[in-house]
């Protein structure tokens, strides 16, 4: 695991977008694993900017997302499909047929099987990651055991709490989600996790101030990946006392 302290989140996003652009430009058929959430928004804004300045084309790129709420239609403004279309796909020249986000409003068991098959047949060159305040990665929530494969998960109360800001009320946050398993995530050739904000302090302490790997903080499993980059901004590094 390589840790890079950046001066702020904007710099973390620029550096991450540069890695992704490099993969897109150098692979014949680049495949990117994508994430949603506040952390990822600015990474996508950087990629859109590179596209608009004619430095980047997504014509040959395929993508697979980490997760999706069960029950939300793709045009629901809190679905992860909607997020991806809004922040990235509709602003670049990607073929939507080459983008995969599990479909939230169909038979969950059939969709889960399709998601598992997609992951098995689509090795990823790169995976973008944020981290939950409780250390979750995608929707792999702290628990006595984690799953290697894609599955349907009961979203932890802490995560429902954290995501309620995007919904009219906490009660409107879906209770279950499709998620890549930890094994799926660790199969990507290169991982980049971005961390910013005081609410990520607890998770980042477990990541950076100890060598422990524990299912209580799913993010700690990233320590076992040979090509994982953690971008942490200076303010958060200072807050947890991480010096590099």
Q: Which residues bind ligand F6R (CB under 6 A)?
A: 35-39, 66-67, 130-132, 136-138
* Contact residues for 31 (Cβ-Cβ < 8 A; gap 6+): 61, 62, 63, 64, 122, 123, 124, 125, 126
**Is residue 136 among the annotated active site residues?**
yes
* Catalytic residue from among 51, 136, 151, 225: 136
User: Which one, 60 or 167, has the nearer CB to ligand F6R?
Assistant: 167
* Catalytic residue from among 67, 68, 111, 184: 67
**Is residue 225 among the annotated active site residues?**
no
**Is residue 125 among the annotated active site residues?**
no
User: Which one, 61 or 179, has the nearer CB to ligand F6R?
Assistant: 179
User: Which one, 39 or 61, has the nearer CB to ligand F6R?
Assistant: 39
Helix 38-52 and helix 80-87, axial crossing angle in degrees, nearest 10: 30
Which residue's CB comes closest to ligand F6R? 130
* Catalytic residue from among 65, 87, 134, 140: 134
User: Which one, 60 or 183, has the nearer CB to ligand F6R?
Assistant: 183
Asked whether the beta carbons of 138 and 67 are under 8 A apart, the reply is yes
Question: What does the alpha-carbon distance between residue 98 and residue 81 come to, in Å, rounded to a whole number?
Answer: 13
Question: What does the alpha-carbon distance between residue 135 and residue 5 come to, in Å, rounded to a whole number?
Answer: 19
**Is residue 67 among the annotated active site residues?**
yes
Q: In this structure, what are the phi and psi dihedrals at residue 170, rounded to the nearest 5 degrees? A: -60, -35
Question: What does the alpha-carbon distance between residue 39 and residue 102 come to, in Å, rounded to a whole number?
Answer: 20
- In whole angstroms, the minimum distance from the beta carbon of 138 to ligand F6R comes to 4
- In whole angstroms, the minimum distance from the beta carbon of 179 to ligand F6R comes to 8
Catalytic positions are 67, 134, 136, 141
């Amino acid at each position: 695991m390589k840790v890079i302290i950046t001066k702020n989140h904007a710099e973390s996003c620029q550096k991450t977008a540069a890695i992704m652009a490099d993969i897109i430009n150098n692979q014949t058929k680049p495949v990117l694993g994508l994430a949603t959430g506040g952390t990822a928004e600015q990474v996508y804004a950087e990629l859109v900017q590179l596209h608009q300045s004619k430095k980047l084309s997504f014509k040959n790129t395929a993508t697979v997302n980490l997760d999706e709420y069960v029950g939300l239609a793709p045009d629901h403004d809190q679905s992860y499909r909607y997020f991806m279309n809004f922040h990235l796909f509709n602003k670049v020249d990607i073929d939507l047929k080459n983008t995969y986000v599990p479909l939230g409003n169909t038979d969950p068991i059939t969709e889960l099987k399709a998601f598992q098959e997609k992951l098995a047949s689509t090795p990823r060159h790169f995976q973008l990651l944020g981290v939950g305040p409780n250390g979750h990665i995608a929707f792999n929530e702290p628990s006595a055991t984690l799953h290697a494969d894609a599955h349907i998960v009961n979203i932890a109360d802490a995560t429902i709490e954290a995501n309620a800001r995007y919904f009219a009320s906490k009660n409107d946050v879906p209770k279950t989600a499709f998620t890549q398993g930890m094994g799926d995530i660790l199969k990507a050739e290169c991982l980049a996790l971005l961390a910013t904000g005081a609410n990520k302090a607890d998770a980042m302490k477990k990541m950076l101030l100890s060598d422990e790997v524990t299912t209580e903080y799913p993010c700690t499993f990233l320590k076992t990946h040979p090509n994982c980059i953690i971008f942490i901004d200076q303010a958060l590094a200072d807050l947890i006392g991480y010096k590099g």
